[in-house]
């Protein structure tokens, strides 16, 4: 059971790492890179604050079920965070 959970954890990590590496950069006409980075930092902060509670508060009977729930919550949190960041950047006038 522990080996299966380890494989799931490693697979989820690889999946999330692969998703991040294929992203196009955010751009906006006549906006310097420093301003784009500042907007991205603001959006990341807001998205992190909005998703911080995902997966918290669970009570699990076994270590394996806690690990599985933690992995699922982490994946869900990252997907929600990515959407919130994208929506925030679009609202600020950036595109990919």
Please report the pLDDT score of residue 71 as a whole number. 79
Specify if 96 maps to a domain.
no
Question: Pick the residue with more confidence: 23 or 16?
Answer: 23
pTM comes to: 0.60
- With 60 as the cut, is the pLDDT of residue 9 above it? no
- Domain of residue 7: give its range: 2-91
- Domain membership flag for residue 73: yes
Half-sphere exposure of 74 (CA within 13 A, CB side): 15
Q: 27 - beta bridge partners? A: 95
The per-residue pLDDT for range 18-76, each reduced to its tens digit, is 555 568 999 999 999 999 999 999 999 999 888 777 566 666 677 777 777 777 777 87
Residue 82 has pLDDT above 80, yes or no: yes
- Total domains in the chain come to 1
Tell me, yes or no, whether 63 lies in a domain. Answer: yes
């Amino acid at each position: 059971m522990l080996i299966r959970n380890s494989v799931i954890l490693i697979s989820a990590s690889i999946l999330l790492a692969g998703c991040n590496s294929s992203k196009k950069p955010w751009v906006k006409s006549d906006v310097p890179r420093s301003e784009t980075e500042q907007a991205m930092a603001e959006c990341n902060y807001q998205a992190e604050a909005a998703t911080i509670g995902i997966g918290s508060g669970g009570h699990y009977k076994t270590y394996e079920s806690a690990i599985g729930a933690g992995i699922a919550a982490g994946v869900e949190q990252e997907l929600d965070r990515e959407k919130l960041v994208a929506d925030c950047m679009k609202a600020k006038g950036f595109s990919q």
